[in-house]
Structure formats: C-alpha cells, structure tokens
Structure 1
Amino acid sequence: MSDTMRGGIATCDKAKDLLEAVEAKYREFEKAEMGDLMTTLTSLKLYENKSVREHILKLVETAAKLKDLEVPVDVALIVHMALTSLPSKFDQLNVSYNTQKEKWTLDDLISICTQEARIKRNEIYGTVNLVHGDKGKKAAYQFGAYKKNYNNKKKKFFKSLLAMGMKW
C-alpha cells in the first residue's frame, strides 16, 4: 500500500475495519474512473491521421471497461457513438445507417467503416487545369499576354451583362 493511501486511512484495530476503509477509498477511484470513461466514450473523435478500425476498437475498449465497472453499454449505443464521432466525410455512411431498418453489429460497423475509409482515401480531390497552346507561340504563356487576354474576356463579359440590362 502506498504512503499516500496509508495516510488517508484512519488507524483501525481490526483487519476487517481496515479492509472496509481501503475498499471505500477504491470505490471513490472507481467513480472517478467511471466518469473519465464516460467522458471518453462521448467525446472521442476520429482525426484524419488515425485508423477508423483503431478508433472504433478504442470505443469498444472503453465500453468494456465501463462494463467491468458495472455500467453496461448497449451495442447500439456504441455503434451510434462511433458513427457520430466520425468526420464529416463519413456523413453519407451515417445517413445510410439511419435509413436502414436493420441494426449493425460492431463487426459490421468496423468492416463497413474501414471499407468506406479505403474508398475515401483512394478518391482524388482537387482540380486539374489543362493548358493547350501552339508550339510556336511562346508569348501566349507569358504573363503579359495572359493578362491582356484575361482583361479582354472580362470586358466582354461585363458588356454582355450590361446588354442584358443588369446593373451593379
């Protein structure tokens, strides 16, 4: 027993009284741990650099620790907490789950989420600009020529808006 714990327990004549006092101190620690685990379960979020599988397994581990502390957590709640803790790019998956009649098990959730993460990782985001010009026209790629061409297009655009009767 640590000195800190020993100092927090009153001296007792009987071993039974001492064990009851120690048990009371540990009961307080269980309540604090229970609060920490509940906070973890409700506030855990998936960040971009983590694996979806590891994230869901962390939620399952937290629920198992709560169960050991006699706070049972239903599988449906874990599935719901896992889906709400995913980033916004998984919103379509959340909508899909909510529209289905059947409930997912934890194994279903893990496999579906990892598959969705793999699909999201393989998607290409962004745009590609294609520039095509004649080989002999070097000036077309220079900034001055581009700027002149851009200004002419801009003037034509605004003239067409004015011709249609739009005002600023």
Structure 2
Amino acid sequence: MTLQNLDLALRVDEPSKPTDVNIADERSFYERWEHSNRSCLMVMKYTMDKSIKECVPKTERAKDLLEYVKANYTKVDKAEMATHLKLLTTTVYDGVSGVRDHIIKLRHYFNKANEMKVELGENFLKWLILESLPVSFDAVKLTYNALKEEWTLEELMSIVVQHEVSLKKNETHSLGLVIDQVSNMKKKPPHKNFGGFKQFKRKGNSNQGTSNASASSNAAKSEKFKRKCNFCHKIGHKQADCLKL
C-alpha cells in the first residue's frame, strides 16, 4: 500500500469533512484520504485470517481496525522466543568466525527477544558478550570490571576486536619462529654420529688383518731365500741375479 501511495489513511487521522465546496484544497485532501481509507479496509479484510475477521468489530476507519488487530491478535511465538533466548545465553565464541561477527550475532538475538516483549537491559547484553568470550580475552573482562564508567556497545565491540587483532599478531609471530626453526633443521647436514652412537673399528679384525699381511710378507721372504741358483747352485738368489755369470 505504501508503494501505491494508499497508506494515507493509516498515517493521518480522518480530517474533518469540508463544508465549503469552494475550498478546493481541503476537498481534494479529504477525497484522497477517503479513497485511501476504503482501499486499506478492503486490503486488510481480504488478507485477514478468517478466524480473526469474524471476531473483529465493524469499523469505518482502517486505522482503527489496524490498531484493534495489533492490540488483540499480535502473535508471540513462545517457542521462537525461547529459541532466541537460548541462543543468546548459550552461544560462545568459537575463535574462527571473528569476534565482531560473534557480537553482531548476539545483538541480533537480543533484539529479537526484545521485539517479543522480553525486556533485557543493555548491561545484561554486555555481560553476556564478555562471558561468551574465551580465556584469551580475560584481560578485557578484568579491565571492564575494574573501571567505574560504563562502555557503550560500540566501545565494547571496538576494544574486543582490537584485542583479537593483537592476539592474532602474537600468534602469527610465534608460528613464524617455529617455521624458521624447522627450516633451519632441514638445511643442516646429518651428523656422522647420528643417533648418538659412535662407530668403532673392531680391534680383532684390525689385528687379524695386520697379522695376515705380516705373515704373507714373511712367507714371501722365506720363499725367496729358499730358491737355488741354477748356475752356481747356491741358495739365496736366482740365476739371473748370479754374480758369477
């Protein structure tokens, strides 16, 4: 009706009926109001629930009909109200969505409850917001409780959001240090004595090898000296090395 400019009768009380036909402005305004009133009555009666329509007293003014229905047939869904109250009092910050969105969500539940005639003060909402935050926001809670003056909801949101930004900066810095340490460990070559065990040579094997080498050398020497020269028939050299040739 607003889009079609038919809500004049709902916004303005009925003007007095013009008695002087010569006053064109008053007559034109009254005709507009009368047309709006008839249109609003027709729309409301055709769109109204049948059970309500049968109980509504007859009236000639659309504004009176609207006020009567509003006062007597406004539906308050108790289940819906309980849902909003439960969400308001049990929703806690998950640390993922962002604390600003979390506070906006709580304010939505708070406003819905107030629309259903549940009178909740702003201080109660601020207390709920602080209680729904994790222990990392304890500094904000202590500051709020220690100060004498009250913060507005906008001030509380601004302070809490700034605190979360500071927390994320510190967390990112710590995470960066850990990543650097891991990268440095990967770049270092593995230690020769990896695992803390030293590699020792077996003494038995070493001595045995030395003994075998000495024995082979002595055997070669003894074999050399046992040879007999074919020319002078003396032992100790070969014929090619004989001095008598």
| TM-score, normalised relative to structure 1 | 0.63
Shift of 1:145: 5.1
1:139 deviates by: 2.9
Is 1:144 the counterpart of 2:191? The answer is no
Amino acid at match of 1:84: E
State the distance in 2 between where 1:46 and 1:118 align. 15
Tell me which of 80, 91, 94 is aligned to 2:141.
Answer: 94
Query: How many residues of Structure 1 are paired with residues of Structure 2 in the alignment?
Result: 129
Query: With CA pairs under 8 Å and 6+ residues apart, which has the higher RCO, 1 or 2?
Result: 1
**One-letter code of the match for 2:114?**
K
The C-alpha deviation readout for 1:28-48, integer Å capped at 9, x for no partner, is x2x111111111111010002
Equivalent residue for 2:103?
A: 56
Evaluate the alpha carbon distance shift between residue 144 and residue 81 of structure 1 in structure 2; reply closer, same or farther with a 3 A threshold: same
Three-state SS of the structure 1 residue aligned to 2:196 is helix
Q: Distance in 2 between matches of 1:46 and 1:136?
A: 45
Structure 1: gaps spanning 5 or more residues: 1-10, 147-168
- Report whether the alignment pairs 1:74 with 2:127: no
Segments of 5+ residues of structure 2 without an aligned counterpart are 1-49, 57-68, 199-245
Task: Name the amino acid aligned to 2:138.
Answer: D
- Between the aligned partners of 2:146 and 2:130, the Cα distance in structure 1 is 14
TM-score by length of 2: 0.45
- CA–CA distance in structure 1, aligned partners of residues 150 and 93 of structure 2: 22
- Equivalent residue for 2:64? none
Whole-angstrom CA distance in 2 between matches of 1:136 and 1:65: 64
The answer to whether the 8 A contact 1:45-1:85 is kept is yes
Is 1:53–1:110's contact at 8 Å kept on the other side of the alignment? yes
Q: CA deviation at 1:60?
A: 0.9
Q: Distance in 1 between matches of 2:189 and 2:116?
A: 78
Larger-Rg structure? 2
Letter in 1 for 2:133: L
Task: Give the deviation of 1:137 after TM superposition.
Answer: 9.3
Give the AA of the match of 1:15. Answer: E
CA distance in 2, matches of 1:59, 1:69: 16
Contact 1:56 1:110 in 2 (8 A): yes
- Deviation at 1:66? 1.2
Structure 1, 57-66 or 112-121: larger mean CA deviation: 57-66
* Contact persistence 1:139–1:145 (CA under 8 A): no
